[in-house]
Amino acid sequence: MEEVRIGPKASPRATHRKDRSFASASSPRFSARDERFMRRALTLARRALGSTSPNPMVGAVITRGGRVLGEGYHHAAGRPHAEIEALRDAARRGRPSVAGATLYVTLEPCCTQGLTPPCVDAVLRAGIAKVFVAAVDPNPSHSGRGLDQLSRAGVKVAVGLLAPESMRLNEAFNHWIVERTPFVTVKAAMTLDGKIATATGESQWITGEKARASSMRLRGEVDAILVGVNTVLLDNPRLSFRSGSSRRGAARRRGAPLRRVVLDSSARTPADARVLEPAAGHETIIVTTRSAPAARVKRLAARATVWRSPGRSGRVSLSWLMNKLGREGVTHLLVEGGGEVNASFLLEGRAHRVALFYAPKILGGATAKRGVGGKGARDLGDAIRLGDPEWRRVGKDLFVTARINADSPECENGRDVRSEGQDAAG
């Protein structure tokens, strides 16, 4: 893993050479013990969920003769990487020498100087004899270089052990590091007939307490939350993250601030809106347009950061906004509606995952607020395809998350991953 420096979009140059000497995902066959240690490394990596941005989550385990010598994970950007934490843990356990040992790491070790020294150098100095890597670094500028250096130095390298799990863990980072735009998750809480509010705008509360707590935890895993101004006018939300709902939250909010983004083309956000209230570890960004009244913009600028989007339609340019958020280091954006904003991201192809909570209720009514508005698909062939859905029970409610527009047919098969009463995240 390379320490991330925010800059222009990475060059898509080819970096995976066919003549590499290290093993591929299909060779050799991994043993049950290898899988067990890599799963442990993945478990360690997940401990930092929401705290490493703009870096990926990485875990590492060092073993010899089937016994763990040391283990660790990357806690936050600028802090030691997982490999270094594992080496230090081995020393704390009274095993300062790990020569001849095996390293299991969920992402390719870095080989260049960033905010921290190269991990490849530390691995070589420690005398590690074999390295199992779950996933190759997705950064096109670095991909495979660390593996090459290890292999040329005589270290046995095997790649691909539990690669899908590693890639899923860092799907937001993997997208951002290549595209330099945020990975976008659209989240909504709806009735079974797809309504997020009554015709009069009442929406509190459609889902139960456990679902709302699970929804709050999702906020602790992202860099920014986005809503439209109509949500601000109707619900007056704080869009805050309360760390008490997640054991990971306190660490996350001590890092980069949680950005609260409001799409407000005409600068209609009221001066007393809760989203403008100061909140520890939070930053509010009002995205308006160049045609918004100057007096309103000035009033908002006294309470929040104001970005003025270009464009002639009188609407915020999502393309411009995604590029700007990406440059600001936002790797994962959580879109929380309403229906028209959700539709803009979904129907324009700017969303990558959905996170939907369904309550066992039916509102009905042609004018009740829908979870996804817009013009919709004209025929079934234009419907948005969801891949690899995961269904979970959250108290009395149902939670589903899925990737958008998955290409592989086998990804359409869903699975139930939690039982009644268990939370959807954490």
What's this model's pTM, rounded to 2 decimal places? 0.86
pLDDT at 114 over 60: yes
DSSP class per residue in 218-233: HHTT-SEEEEEHHHHH
* pLDDT score at 244: 56
**Three-class DSSP category at 180:** coil
pLDDT at 251 over 50: no
Secondary structure letter of residue 409 according to DSSP: G
| Whether residue 165 lies in the annotated active site | no
The DSSP bridge partners found for residue 244 are none
pLDDT at 417 over 90: no
CA distance 218 to 401: 12
Residue type, 85: E
CA distance 354 to 334: 9
**Which residues touch 297 (CB under 8 Å, ≥6 apart)?**
267, 288, 306, 308
pLDDT at 25 over 60: no
Q: Which of 3, 83, 108, 221 is catalytic?
A: 83
CA distance 143 to 287: 35
CA distance 268 to 271: 9
What average pLDDT does range 15-41 have in this prediction? 67
Tokens representing 153 are 């130095």
pLDDT, tens digit (0-9, with 9 covering 90-100), for 127-139? 999 999 999 999 9
pLDDT, tens digit (0-9, with 9 covering 90-100), for 353-370? 999 999 999 999 999 999
**Three-class DSSP category at 71:** strand
What average pLDDT does range 311-320 have in this prediction? 87
Q: Which stretches within 49-106 are classed as H helix?
A: 82-92
Mean pLDDT value across the chain: 86
* pLDDT score at 254: 47
Taken in order 116, 118, 123, 124, is the CA torsion positive or negative? negative
Closest CA to 106 of 164, 24, 150: 164
Burial class (CB in 10 A: 0-12, 13-18, 19+), 135: buried
Taken in order 82, 88, 91, 96, is the CA torsion positive or negative? positive
